[in-house]
Amino acid sequence: MGVAHIVQGFQYRPVKNTNGDTIHPIGLVLHVAQGNGSQFNWFNDPQSQASSNLWAGKAGQREQYVPSDVRAWAQAAGNSTYDSVETEGFDTEALTPEQIETVAVAYADGVRTFGWALAVTDTPGQPGLITHGVGKVSWGNHPGCPGTIRAGQRHQIIARAAQIVGGATSPVQPKVVALQHAVHVAADGVWGPVTDAALAEVRTNRHTRAEQAAVGATVDGVWGPLSQAAYVATVRTIQSILGVGVDGVWGPITDQAFAAARSTYFTG
Ligand SMILES: [Zn+2]
């Protein structure tokens, strides 16, 4: 690894807001800009005291403001361990397909350059694609960044990054990898019996211990508000992967899309 690493395909627009300290990032923090347009002027203004390594525009524009191996000023105490990507738009909007591709390209570059895990994480200090919000006060106290919609799209980003890293001939199905991340089973890209059983738990929603495991809740056999919240979040993630409306309710349209995906990918 050299110094001043720039992601291929990104326009390098160096900004003033960095000390230039070298870092060895373990993953990428996803942000939402809460605004449209390039962040260059804002991040080049010393009064803002802010910058990010990368920016992803809705139409596919890609800008890099701080090299990947240099500390940006995006998430306070999280700046020394993670790179950062600002995404154009608002937390009420989903990332566009172009933005998903941009972040996936950046993430794949991190896999190759820094050995990032092809994983979504919500635990600060763990490798992977993480949100700004989970860093809480020590990361600057932005609990709503990038919001639940964009946070739920991280599985798609990782699945696409896996495909980029693996090359076009990879047998791994990115949609299956994303679904496997969503239901907390090993993400090998093959929809076998274990994956099928975990997805069936969410689909049937019988409030079993197995369903608690699938949605990432504490497995205690008691279906309380935390289990319910984890269930709704999981359904939202699955809906975003299936490309249907994201409302957290497994209705007929979701079920139809799920059945179609299952008939395509389930290996029996
Ligand atoms: Zn943020």
Structure confidence by residue, pLDDT tens digits, 102-126:
999 999 999 999 999 999 999 999 9
Residues 219-259: pLDDT tens digits?
Answer: 999 999 999 999 999 999 999 889 899 899 999 999 999 99
Of 164, 199, 226, the residue that ends a domain is 164
| 23 and 139 housed in the same domain | yes
Whether pLDDT at 6 is above 50: yes
Q: 67-96 in b/e burial notation, b at 16+ Cβ within 10 A?
A: bbbbbbbbbeebbebbbbbbbbbebebbbb
Beta 82-87 vs 27-32: how paired, if at all?
parallel
- Residue 1's pLDDT is 40
Q: In angstroms, what is the span from residue 31 Cα to ligand 1's centroid?
A: 4
- Residue 9's pLDDT is 93
Q: In angstroms, what is the span from residue 154 Cα to ligand 1's centroid?
A: 15
Residue 128 binned pLDDT confidence (cut-offs 50, 70, 90): very high
* Contact indicator for 264, 242 with CB cutoff of 8 Å: no
Tokens of 259: 């059945």
Q: Which residues contact 21 (CB under 8 A, 6 or more apart)?
A: 70, 71, 80
Q: How many separate domains does the chain show?
A: 2
Q: In angstroms, what is the span from residue 263 Cα to ligand 1's centroid?
A: 38
Q: In angstroms, what is the span from residue 224 Cα to ligand 1's centroid?
A: 30
- Going from the C-alpha of 37 to that of each of 59, 73, 87, the distances in angstroms are 10, 19, 10
95 found inside a domain: yes
Q: In angstroms, what is the span from residue 136 Cα to ligand 1's centroid?
A: 11
Q: In angstroms, what is the span from residue 95 Cα to ligand 1's centroid?
A: 15
Q: In angstroms, what is the span from residue 84 Cα to ligand 1's centroid?
A: 8
Burial (0-12, 13-18, 19+ Cβ within 10 Å), 183: buried
Of 164, 188, 207, the residue that ends a domain is 164
Q: In angstroms, what is the span from residue 30 Cα to ligand 1's centroid?
A: 7
Residues 131-177: pLDDT tens digits?
Answer: 999 999 999 999 999 999 999 999 999 999 998 998 654 556 778 88
Q: What is the mean pLDDT of the chain?
A: 93
| 38 and 142 housed in the same domain | yes
What pTM was computed for the model? Answer: 0.68
Give the residue-averaged pLDDT of 206-212: 97
Rounded Cα distance between 249 and 247, Å, is 6
Domain interval for residue 179: 172-265
Establish whether the linkage from the previous residue to 146 is cis, with ω within 30° of 0. Answer: yes
| 108 and 216 housed in the same domain | no
- Residue 82's pLDDT is 98
